[in-house]
Amino acid sequence: MTKETLSAGLAERAPLVGVKALLRHRMIWPVLALALILIVDGVISPGFFRIRIVEGRLFGSLIDILYRAMPTATVALGMAVVISTKGIDLSVGSIIAICGAVIVWRIHAGDPHFVILLLALGTGLLCGLWNGMLVALLDIQPIIATLILMVSGRGIGLMINLIYGGTNPSFNSALLQGLSVGHISLIPTRLVVGAGIFLLLWLLTRRTAFGLFLESVGGNPAAARLAGVNTRLIIYSAYLISGICAAAAGVILTADTHTSDPVSEGLYIELDAILAVVIGGGSLSGGRVYLGGTLLGALVIQALTTSILSSGLPPEYNLVVKAVVVLIVLLLQSSNARTALVSAIARRKR
């Protein structure tokens, strides 16, 4: 008993080195989860890690996971920014639907495709402006404020279809499809786009003071305000960023399917995005923004989906298995659950 308390005391005082420091690191659980999923995949289906070059592009399960995760990851990055301010953006799926409708409408109208791309991003910006106005200026609770656009957004998409009497016609656009399903030398373009958005946001939050302001507003808005931070402006910008990220995902998804269906496009993507942020270590009570973790979180979710589908398990199992794995990752993230686990193990040892 004395020995135990002694060693426990020592461990507490000893500098966190090696494995212990690694285990304390907030990124360790999403990384481990991703690694575990991939290892299981590797065992189940040999050749899982093989990456070939087919028709001048990279091809393989790993690339496939990255490829499919990209829309969710893009949305999740914007969500991470919003969540760091103690907010939430439920409207991202609807923003995707609106952007899709705008793209198809303007293609039908014959606009230059470069202009259409800008219009789509502008639509996301406009949606962000609306959400930001409700949350930052009118002080409406974020969950309610963004619920408004979440509910109405798909209706707006359908109304845009009415403008030209469209019933989700398919389209071809070298520019938009190039961004979505094309590739730059060996690498899928959308991975480059996703990496670009990640890099931009990383620079914004870590190489300007914007990140510090975001985290101060999310952590303690009263204190941030007294320290001179323009809290309304910071919260406003978070929703703008989320709107643009959702619009980027909207371009990729719309071009991917060659059509737009406001009823189903990007449906439930907000839930995956929120999950990705939380798996990545973000807390819904705000105060911290983890972009790298969020990216990992999106990959965990997609890797899981892909491996369930490729494991031969009936696709009906997908959602439930996904939920179980997510639950486990979240339990490992929760300090309460971890403390309970540690003390349970300690009790058994005794």
Partner 1 sequence: MTAKVEIVGVSKAYPGVRALDAVDFSVEAGEVHALMGENGAGKSTLIKVMTGALRADSGVIRLDGDEIKLDSPGAARAAGIGAVYQEVNLVPSMSVTKNLMLGRLPRRLGLVSWSRARDLARERLKRLGVDIDIERPLGSYSVAIQQLVAIARALDDDVRVLVLDEPTASLDAQEVQGLFDILRDLKQRGMAIVFISHFIDQVYQIADRITVLRNGRRVGVGTTMEMPSFKLVSLMIGHDLLVAEQKPPTFHLDPNAAPILIAKGVGRRRVMEPVDINLRAGEVVGLAGLLGSGRSETAKLLFGAIRADRGEIFVAGDSVGAASPAKSLRLGMTFCPEDRKSEGILSELTIRENIVLALQSRRGWLRPLSRREQDRLADEMIEALAIATSDAEKPVGQLSGGNQQKVILARSLVAGPRVLILDEPTRGIDVGAHAEIVNLIRKLCEQGLALLVVSSELDELVAVSHRIVVLRDRKQVAEIPGSDITRAKIIETIAGS
> Rule CB under 8 A: which residues touch partner 1?
207-210, 212-213, 215-216, 219-220, 222-230, 287-288
CB of 221 to partner 1, least distance (A): 10
Nearer to partner 1, 190 or 288 (CB): 288
d(CA 179, CA 191): 9
Contact at 8 Å (CB) between 213 and 224? yes
Runs of H (alpha helix) within the chain: 2-13, 18-24, 28-44, 61-84, 92-109, 113-132, 142-163, 174-181, 189-206, 210-219, 221-226, 231-257, 269-279, 291-310, 318-333, 335-349
Nearer to partner 1, 57 or 232 (CB): 232
CB of 219 to partner 1, least distance (A): 4
Q: Which residue has the tokens 């399960």?
A: 61
Nearer to partner 1, 44 or 223 (CB): 223
Residues in a beta bridge with 57: 54
Residues in a beta bridge with 64: none
Contact at 8 Å (CB) between 65 and 73? no
CB of 286 to partner 1, least distance (A): 9
CB of 214 to partner 1, least distance (A): 10
Nearer to partner 1, 122 or 219 (CB): 219
CB of 26 to partner 1, least distance (A): 12
Question: Measuring CA to CA, how many Å separate 315 from each of 94, 110, 299?
Answer: 26, 40, 19
CB of 5 to partner 1, least distance (A): 22
Contact at 8 Å (CB) between 164 and 105? yes
CA-CA-CA-CA torsion sign (275, 202, 84, 266): negative
CA-CA-CA-CA torsion sign (42, 45, 48, 50): positive
Nearer to partner 1, 229 or 296 (CB): 229
Nearer to partner 1, 215 or 265 (CB): 215
Q: Any idea what the Cα angle at residue 171 is, between residues 124 and 104, rounded to 5°?
A: 30
Contact at 8 Å (CB) between 274 and 143? no
Structure tokens, 335: 């300090």
Nearer to partner 1, 148 or 204 (CB): 204
CB of 336 to partner 1, least distance (A): 16
Nearer to partner 1, 173 or 220 (CB): 220
Nearer to partner 1, 7 or 285 (CB): 285
d(CA 143, CA 57): 42
CB of 9 to partner 1, least distance (A): 17
Q: How far out from the chain centre does Cα 137 lie?
A: 26
CB of 283 to partner 1, least distance (A): 9
